[in-house]
Structure 1
Amino acid sequence: MDRRGTSTRHTILKNGLVIDPSNGIEEVKDIVIEDDRILEVCDKAAVEKGDCVIDCAGLEIWPGLIDMHLHVSDLFEIHTNTAYGAAEDGVTTALSPGAGNTFMAPALLGAEMDRGLPLNVGVFLGAANVLGTRLKEEELVELFRGTLGQEEKERKLSHNSIVNHTAQYTVGIKEHMGHFLLPDEKILQLYTLTDKAHLLFTSHTQDIDHTMHLFDMAKGRHLHLGHANAAGCGRHGEAVWAMKQVIGLCRQEEVSGEFVTTMLREGGGCREGLKMTEPARQMALEALAEHIVTIAVSDGQNQSTMKGFGDTRDNIPCLLELAEHKVLSKMDAVALMTCNPAKLLARRTRNEEWRSRYGHLGIGAYANITVVDPKRKYAVYVLTNGKLVSFEKRYLRLGGRAGYWVSKFQTKKSMGIGELPMYDII
């Protein structure tokens, strides 16, 4: 592409092994970034005066990691350090699945995003909180479709105008047997709601009996099994039996699942969290090899207040080890946290931007890029929407306002909350 005559300054990643599963590329290429988008992918990009050149020789250039189960600034969190740690570990898009997330979550995390986060963020809302307002089922559907009137929101949702303005911006609803046990009529209501409003219904998969009950109630509607390999830890039923049931469910067309990276690695998990038994872990690896489960997640960071079963620091090592141990090809391993979650989110939310702008390195995609050292197994450079946010696992302050808001609607570069005045100055 001839860029001569333009005054725009470009960022160019040169000489890296591009691994882009969505576009079938696994070869040394240069990538040219203009503003927040990928402008060009070519064999040798011309460098012009003012361009920022990053030499990626000996490194691998992946699409930025999408971690669709990462507890970042959940309502239980007391700081936002998780977002910065996750960015250092190569995550460029994170979905926060806290079961305690209320309708305030898009407002609170949206304000953090406005003020500056190094990654794209979105949320799941907690099922009990979604069902805890005066809104009726059809009104909830209208809310999540973005068509509910302001007067109805003020009468039945909240007296907080910011909450009413942002409540619809979610990707899905989280059911969590560890925080609340909903009666069957409420579970059925959630299925109707997520199906009609095109949201992802995700469940806390640990107690396999509970999960089987949710599947039975789905009656052909979609169910996403969060951190599904937690069932293989033996806390709720014998580990191998439980893992076999989970894999059987994931074979169903209407069911999708995700595995925690930490649990997939040798050792089976964290000493302070849950650990899979080795036979159950081998079953999980076989499910990956057979493409029964096609998504990997971290479930959080160990230093966080609201931590999960894993850690973002295990994401890149896990993906590389899956390829090293011949469980998956390198392309298929990288796809677990790039194009695969993007495709699932596009399918469930019916927002094709997930497929066109996220999870790949094609022209026009947002420049979310993770540059990996395959020998040391970590992210050397991380770019979110074209901004360098981390170098050698060190967060860079200049990338603070890099992240955008993601949801079932189009990407929002600002939620319009972080700059609101909290009081009048007289």
Structure 2
Amino acid sequence: MSQMLALAILILVLFIGEAVSIRTKAWIPSIFVSGVLFLLGFWTFFPPEIVTLAGIPPAVAVMLIYLLITNMGTLLSLQELKEQWKTILIAISGILGIVAALFGIGTLLFDFQTVVVAIPPLVGGLVSALIMSEGAAAAGLPTLAVFAIVIYVVQGFAGYPLTSIMLKKEGKNLLEKFRNNELTAKQLPGEQSGTTEKTVREPRMFAKMPEKYNTDFFKFFRLALVGYLAYLTSVLLTPVVGISPFVLCLLFGVIARSIGFLERHPLQKANGFGFAIMGLLLFIFDGLKNATPSMMVEIMYPLIGCIVIGVAGMYIFSLIVGKLLKVSKEMAFAVSLTALYGFPADYIITVEVINSLTKDEQEREVLTSHMLPPMLVAGFITVTIVSVILAGIFVGFL
């Protein structure tokens, strides 16, 4: 298969996912549809290396992750993180719900090692899945090594539609309040009252530089530099405390936006956001090549069981904490569900739902300001931070 044919096929799959999402008004998220098509493709005619062949090898994907997570940091501010303390508590409560349910009920149905291997990938991303997979392989448990990867790949199939349903209900409630003059748009991260880009040019640190020099390459350079500083800090801190460079990318993106080194959403302004999202999605779906039909049949029972029990525990705990913090049950469950997929799915699903609910720009701004920040914060807290910590602890149980 030639490179351009592989690329055309993969982009077609992503487009079909988008088309179905648009047609169903986000009731069926594009990521879910694309994931199913990728799975079927790998089971039929896709060569295993199709994503790398198309031009997105792991090195390119990692580069895009650095840029995208740093870029996502510019959508938040230090004040926004402080304001999202309820979101952080609810997201953590959802993870505790998964842990409690699987240790309480899961161990009655499956063996202890299966539960231990399932939890970190279920509440996190690729890093935690790889930690548990390697740990299981080292412990002489090859089936569980595969199980760790597959549960990471499949868990989103439960999270995508559930999140879409919750966000659509929350969005309709918010729109009703807004149309009844009971709700206004929250101030977007980093914006100041009474100011616009016309009066305060971004990035503020380079406001005196002629605008013609603020080219796409200059935006990419500053974004890459912030990502490098996050990586360098992670390396320097490794002997003291192991912190993922991706966690620091988010933090450094917030700081860079706050001090005026980066503008808000620099990737989009440099015309690179769409390509970066495409590359990262292809890399994520590349993990489905390991989920062969025989493997799926072998681990289907514990796979479905762990996901159902875990999501049920997540719902109960997030519902209770959300009620105590006076957050709607729909939004509380939605932010908890980000543990099943994280970034960029949290961003994509939220935007898809918002676009499906209204075409009015002001209404979209209101929904975005109320729904996107908590979804982004929750996704980074659960997938990027907590899951890696859990994996580091749980791998010692094998």
User: Which category of TM-score, normalised to the shorter sequence, fits these structures?
Assistant: under 0.3
What TM-score does the superposition give when structure 2 sets the normalisation length? Answer: 0.26
By percentage of residues, which structure has more helix?
A: 2
Greater relative contact order structure (CA < 8 Å, 6+ sep): 2
- Structure number with higher strand proportion: 1
